[in-house]
Structure 1
């Protein structure tokens, strides 16, 4: 059965026989360790998610502006700091980089409770820690996704990414409430200490990986720092499918993060719902994300990876527009909750499929730089969306700003890989090419 062009997903040939090498025999055991390290560090990060701004407010007496600056500046400055790291990581073995960045995060975050204990903690200390933690996170992800690509056989990548996605949503559902309880019980600095320990445990777990890494790609003789630093973006924009998904993800991430503070204002102040009702919306979102990540493999087996990518990509961009239509009645709360549930359900379906596509569409010699370019762009674009939406809400209203974000989000549907790249369609899907991956007529 021939696959219509609008269901095809563009891709490039992969080099699995070269990439896997000695990893192919022991990948399952190492994957379990890699997965455990991810779960531990994500849970620690979720515990400490609110701890740093609480430390800034309660321990240092920081102003509202300083708390906002701590988050925004950390994102922008860390993007600048991380810019030259992509090429450097690309030509290094990835596991040592991951261990080093975990240890760096452990030291940086642990320095906060230590400094607070001795009474020498300052606001600028927190700023430095926030920048270091965020830059180290980007470096870890850049190395980690390249390592995961080499570790997991192509036909199992979708399943592996689905497990990571389910873990992330589960941790985000359980971690923040647990962190809030620990902050209330033990205090924010002790909670940050627990967050730091999670990165130490992750580093020790990663050190236990049994297989030897494949040698990283060699650096060419002629290179220039600016050209090397921008290689990730040039690789993305030279490939129609990756470029489409890049712009789609910038729009989605920017709009969703900009909507978060506006939603709190809209639900709590404008519509007059109670905090527990607002919390219900967030809880439903986490459940929807978990459900989507669990459903992605059965859906993928039924309709194929290509259709899942488009199905999830369209679905996650549709539902934000329901929120500004809500009223202060119970039906309004139901509408907002349903919109959030559907949005995050489709996001849970889309994200692991997208991660698998990006792994398959990027070769070994560019994976770290592509991931780093993606992360840096997010750190610049998302604060710009948040700031612009905040200004718009101040001039008009939270409802209007949410409606504008919903309209912008709809444009992201056009920025999905509806047309394939020219050339052979060789992306792996369980060992089959794209045509054979399409569902057979019954």
Structure 2
């Protein structure tokens, strides 16, 4: 639910920044880049923090945090007090919570599924992600065209609330790493994790691939939104289809 909600609202912040707040190209780019960059920096120390805690409460809490942050955007818009600064803060909060949720859910999955079925379980998650990536933006664009620019933000907020309620109903035992041994530190554990990735040639190449591909895609996304919505005056539904088309092709190639 939360995956589809997130991709349904893909591009909603640039859309609101351009159409509602009349933000410049630099401001829209800053909104996308700063939100993800600050979230990534904040998420680094959260890795060890997540490791030593039960994963289920972390997943529920981060879902509720994202629900509250996104709901505040819809409420501020309805009251006529929405600002660029609020969008920026919400982008950082949701990005940080999303990274933390992903880290916790990946670890929790191992306690839910036996080793011989873990590959199939991860494959189903990937299938969900790719389907949402292809279908979410055009559906979100169509909803914006029919009901207004904040409807997808509201749908995304509700999806995180439903996700929290669903995750909370899981009854399988939780998992947490042992407490930090005396004389050790979480900062040292974080360094060990980075060294492990760096010394494994396969993991290191996969890491670099993710950084390069994701970075190049996100580098053009805010500028494309400014160009299509601002100068060319495209409708929101059209921008949604333009975002989905290359992702659909990538999905087919991936399959």
Which category describes the TM-score, using the shorter chain as reference length? 0.7 to 0.9
Cα distance in 2, alignment partners of residues 179 and 172 from structure 1: 11
Cα distance in 1, alignment partners of residues 184 and 99 from structure 2: 23
Shift of 1:118: 1.7
Structure with the largest fraction of helix: 2
Please, what TM-score do these two structures have when normalized by structure 2? 0.85
* Structure 1 position 156 matched with structure 2 position 117: yes
Question: Match of 1:134?
Answer: 95
The correspondence for 1:194, drawn from 155, 172, 195, is 155
Question: Match of 1:113?
Answer: 74
Cα distance in 2, alignment partners of residues 55 and 280 from structure 1: 17
Question: Match of 1:286?
Answer: 248
* Structure 1 position 50 matched with structure 2 position 15: no
Cα distance in 2, alignment partners of residues 231 and 258 from structure 1: 30
Question: Match of 2:20?
Answer: 59
Question: Match of 1:246?
Answer: 207
Cα distance in 2, alignment partners of residues 58 and 259 from structure 1: 19
Cα distance in 2, alignment partners of residues 216 and 245 from structure 1: 25
Shift of 1:236: 1.2
Question: Match of 1:319?
Answer: none
Cα distance in 1, alignment partners of residues 49 and 108 from structure 2: 15
Cα distance in 1, alignment partners of residues 214 and 106 from structure 2: 19
Seen in structure 2, the aligned counterparts of structure 1 residues 285 and 49 have a Cα distance that, compared at 3 Å, is: closer
Please, what TM-score do these two structures have when normalized by structure 1? 0.51
Cα distance in 1, alignment partners of residues 193 and 10 from structure 2: 29
1:12-39: per-residue Cα shift (whole Å, max 9, x none)?
xxxxxxxxxxxxxxxxxxxxxxxxxxxx
- Where structure 1 has 5 or more consecutive residues not aligned to the other structure, the ranges are 1-39, 265-275, 292-344, 350-442
List aligned pairs for 1:323-402, cutoff 5 A.
Answer: 345=253, 348-349=254-255
The correspondence for 1:76, drawn from 29, 33, 37, is 37
Seen in structure 2, the aligned counterparts of structure 1 residues 116 and 208 have a Cα distance that, compared at 3 Å, is: same
Aligned with 2:81: secondary structure?
coil
1:93-136: per-residue Cα shift (whole Å, max 9, x none)?
11110110000000001100111122222111110000000010
* Structure 1 position 41 matched with structure 2 position 39: no
List aligned pairs for 1:22-33, cutoff 5 A.
Answer: none
Are 1:44 and 1:195, in contact at CA under 8 Å, matched by a contact in 2? yes
The correspondence for 1:123, drawn from 62, 84, 91, is 84
* Structure 1 position 221 matched with structure 2 position 191: no
Seen in structure 2, the aligned counterparts of structure 1 residues 82 and 181 have a Cα distance that, compared at 3 Å, is: same
Seen in structure 2, the aligned counterparts of structure 1 residues 185 and 229 have a Cα distance that, compared at 3 Å, is: same
Seen in structure 2, the aligned counterparts of structure 1 residues 141 and 201 have a Cα distance that, compared at 3 Å, is: same
Seen in structure 2, the aligned counterparts of structure 1 residues 258 and 66 have a Cα distance that, compared at 3 Å, is: closer
Shift of 1:60: 1.7
Are 1:105 and 1:133, in contact at CA under 8 Å, matched by a contact in 2? yes
Cα distance in 1, alignment partners of residues 85 and 10 from structure 2: 19
Are 1:77 and 1:131, in contact at CA under 8 Å, matched by a contact in 2? yes
Question: Match of 2:233?
Answer: none
Are 1:52 and 1:188, in contact at CA under 8 Å, matched by a contact in 2? no
Superposition misfits of 4+ residues, deviation over 6 angstroms: 259-264
C-alpha root-mean-square deviation of aligned residues, in Å?
2.6
Seen in structure 2, the aligned counterparts of structure 1 residues 279 and 189 have a Cα distance that, compared at 3 Å, is: closer
Question: Match of 1:25?
Answer: none
* Structure 1 position 169 matched with structure 2 position 130: yes
Q: Which structure has the larger Rg?
A: 1
Are 1:106 and 1:196, in contact at CA under 8 Å, matched by a contact in 2? yes
Shift of 1:279: 5.2
Shift of 1:176: 0.9
The correspondence for 2:169, drawn from 208, 218, 223, is 208
Seen in structure 2, the aligned counterparts of structure 1 residues 175 and 80 have a Cα distance that, compared at 3 Å, is: same
* Structure 1 position 145 matched with structure 2 position 106: yes
The number of residues matched between the two structures is 242
- Where structure 2 has 5 or more consecutive residues not aligned to the other structure, the ranges are 226-237
